[in-house]
């Protein structure tokens, strides 16, 4: 196991970590007060220690009798009672963090956090994950109705459907999410990155984080036609706005996402900065090659959003139908029906032109898909290699070496590659 993955697995948030954030810093009076309470509790309420720590007598006796407990201590004890401290983040928590990076919020004063979506089912699934991981439920309310005015990427427009939000107003839990990498305040005005425990944590944490982020922010697949290019699949994109002075750090953030996709075999690129409204926008585009889109869908990078998951299934079938329309599939299927054949048989049975049938004959021969021998009639006779052909047809997605010019096939053809 790589060293950085070990570090990511050892990452945890402790009682004191959250208390420091809850009390607004190690130097705050509130933090020192809480620390004194914990020290006295551990010392079995030593009056001498209380005096040396500068704790007032009245405060000491209130603590001793259990009449007063500092608020941060009370709230953190609740987390501890639920078994949440120390917190060891996992794939589900990575998914929640990813969603909060996209369509979520964490109040600047860490009073609470929440998730936003027009898909009520998504919020219900998030609510279930919160209950499972943190034993909290939160409340789902309607944020706005259809046709209400809304600001998206700095532009004033109107919502096309109702929008809902899932609120969790628990300060101690908000502090925990802040410590594990959720930015607080307006995300367009703060710099943030993919948390180190996710970035260095291996493929499962990468997938969890990207699922949450893409559920919230990645555009859906669109099939469109442009001129002679019929039924192309547009590249899904992750589009986010930032203040101009934060664009460099935002580009680094998208670079981290690009790197995680690359480790899953998915190609992507970062586009140029666009000035759509008050804040510039930078986008990450998933490559729209059929192989690349197939890899993206097979990596299961949507989780909460049922609409995007269904669209992915539809696009997958569309991709496979486009691949199956390649004439080579019909030629290979034909090969399995005959013990031998000639290129003239390909012309008659498959209605392909003579020149293409000859190219196919040479291709099959040099790819090891058929053995070619000259017959008594001077025609080349092809004997299919069934053991090599069947795996190709049984494979859901297979990439064939491109057909080259007849005179170049022998010199340049490479092995068939499998998914």
Q: What are phi and psi of 58, to 5 degrees?
A: -60, -40
Closest CA to 150 of 159, 141, 163, 138: 159
User: By residue range, what is the domain housing residue 378?
Assistant: 326-418
Question: Which residues make Cβ contacts (< 8 Å) with residue 175, sequence separation at least 6?
Answer: 18, 21, 22, 110
240 part of a folded domain: no
Tokens standing for residue 111: 């009073």
Backbone angles phi, psi at 399, to 5 degrees: -105, 125
Same domain for 99 and 75, yes or no, is no
With left for phi above 0 and alpha for psi between -120 and 50, is residue 257 left, alpha or beta?
alpha
Is the distance from CB of 338 to CB of 384 less than 8 angstroms? Answer: yes
Query: Are residues 74 and 134 located together in one domain of the fold?
Result: no
Do 97 and 74 lie in one domain? The reply is no
Q: What is the pLDDT of residues 226-261, one digit of tens each?
A: 655 566 788 899 998 889 899 999 999 999 999 999
Kindly report whether the peptide bond that precedes residue 416 is cis, defined as omega within 30 degrees of 0. no
Rounded average pLDDT over 297-303: 95
Q: pLDDT value at position 143?
A: 84
Inter-residue contact 198 to 100 (CB < 8 Å): no
User: Does residue 412 lie within any of the structural domains?
Assistant: yes
Report yes or no on 141 lying in a domain.
yes
Per the prediction, the chain carries an average pLDDT of 87
In a domain, 75, yes or no: yes
Residue 113 to residues 116, 140, 189, 196: CA-CA distances in angstroms?
A: 10, 12, 17, 21
Co-location of 345 and 403 in the same domain: yes
pLDDT of residue 376: 80
Domain final position from 161, 186, 211: 186
Per-residue pLDDT tens digits for 111-148: 999 999 999 999 999 999 999 999 998 899 988 787 66
Whether 312 is in a domain gets the answer no
Give the pLDDT of residue 92.
96
Report residue 268 as tokens: 């992507």
Looking at residue 401, what is its pLDDT?
Answer: 61
Task: Count other C-beta atoms under 10 Å from residue 286's C-beta.
Answer: 25
The region, left, alpha or beta by phi > 0 then psi within -120 to 50, assigned to residue 28 is: beta
Q: Within 13 A of 49's CA, how many CA atoms are on the CB side?
A: 13
The answer to the question of residue 277 being in a domain is no
Answer whether residue 125 is part of any domain.
yes
Do 63 and 95 belong to one domain?
no
CATH of the domain at 140: 3.10.28.10
- The residue ranking higher by pLDDT, 41 or 155, is 41
pLDDT digits (tens, 9 = 90+) for 218-227: 998 888 766 5
Q: What are 358-396's pLDDT values in tens digits? A: 888 988 988 889 999 988 877 899 999 999 998 888 877
For residue 290, tell me if it sits in a domain: no
CATH number, residue 380? 1.10.10.10
Does 151 lie in the same domain as 114? yes
Helix axes 203-217, 247-263, angle to 10 degrees: 120
Domain tally for the chain? 3
Same domain, yes or no, for 332 and 381?
A: yes
pLDDT for 414: 47
Residues 110 and 165 occupy one common structural domain: yes
Phi/psi for 203 (5° steps) reads -65, -35
Q: Verify that 147 and 77 share a domain, yes or no.
A: no
Structural tokens at position 318: 């569309």
Residue with tokens 């009390």: 23
The pLDDT, as a whole number, for residue 406 is 46
Which of 153, 186, 219 is the last residue in one of the domains?
186
Half-sphere exposure of 222 (CA within 13 A, CB side): 10
Structure tokens at 296: 């993206």
Among 26, 58, 81, the domain boundary falls at 81
């Amino acid at each position: 196991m790589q060293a950085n993955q070990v570090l990511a697995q050892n990452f945890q948030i402790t009682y004191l970590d959250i208390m420091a954030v809850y009390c607004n810093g190690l130097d705050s009076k509130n933090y020192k007060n809480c620390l004194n309470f914990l020290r006295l509790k551990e010392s079995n309420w030593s009056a001498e220690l209380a005096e040396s720590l500068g704790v007032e007598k009245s405060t000491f006796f209130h603590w001793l009798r259990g009449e007063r407990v500092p608020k941060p201590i009370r709230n953190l004890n609740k987390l501890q009672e639920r078994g949440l401290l120390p917190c060891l983040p996992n794939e589900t928590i990575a998914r929640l963090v990813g969603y909060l990076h996209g369509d979520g919020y964490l109040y600047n004063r860490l009073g609470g956090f929440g998730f936003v979506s027009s898909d009520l089912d998504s919020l219900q699934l998030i609510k279930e994950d919160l209950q499972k991981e943190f034993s909290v439920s939160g409340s789902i309310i309607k944020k706005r109705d259809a046709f209400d005015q809304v600001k998206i990427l700095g532009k004033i427009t109107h919502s096309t459907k109702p929008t809902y939000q899932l609120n969790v107003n628990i300060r101690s839990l908000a502090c925990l999410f802040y410590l594990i990498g959720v930015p607080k305040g307006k995300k367009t005005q703060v710099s943030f990155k993919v948390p180190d425990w996710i970035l260095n944590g291996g493929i499962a944490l990468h997938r969890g984080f990207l699922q949450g982020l893409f559920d919230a922010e990645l555009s859906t697949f669109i099939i469109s036609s442009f001129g002679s290019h019929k039924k192309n699949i547009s590249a899904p994109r992750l589009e986010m706005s930032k203040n101009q002075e934060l664009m460099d750090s935002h580009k680094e953030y998208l670079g981290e996402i690009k790197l995680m996709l690359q480790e899953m075999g998915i190609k992507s690129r970062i586009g140029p900065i666009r000035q759509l409204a008050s804040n510039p926008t930078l986008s990450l585009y998933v490559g729209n090659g059929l192989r690349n889109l197939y890899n993206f869908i097979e990596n299961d990078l949507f989780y909460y959003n049922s609409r995007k998951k269904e669209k992915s299934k539809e696009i997958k079938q569309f991709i496979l139908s486009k691949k199956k329309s390649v004439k080579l599939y019909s030629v290979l299927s034909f090969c399995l029906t005959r013990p031998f054949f000639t290129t003239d048989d390909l012309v008659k049975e498959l209605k392909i032109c003579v020149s293409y049938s000859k190219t196919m004959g040479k291709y099959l021969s040099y790819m090891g898909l058929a053995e070619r021998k000259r017959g008594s009639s001077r025609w080349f006779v092809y004997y299919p290699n069934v053991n090599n052909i069947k795996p190709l047809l049984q494979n859901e997605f297979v990439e064939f070496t491109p057909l080259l010019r007849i005179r170049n096939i022998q010199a340049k053809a490479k092995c068939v590659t499998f998914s």
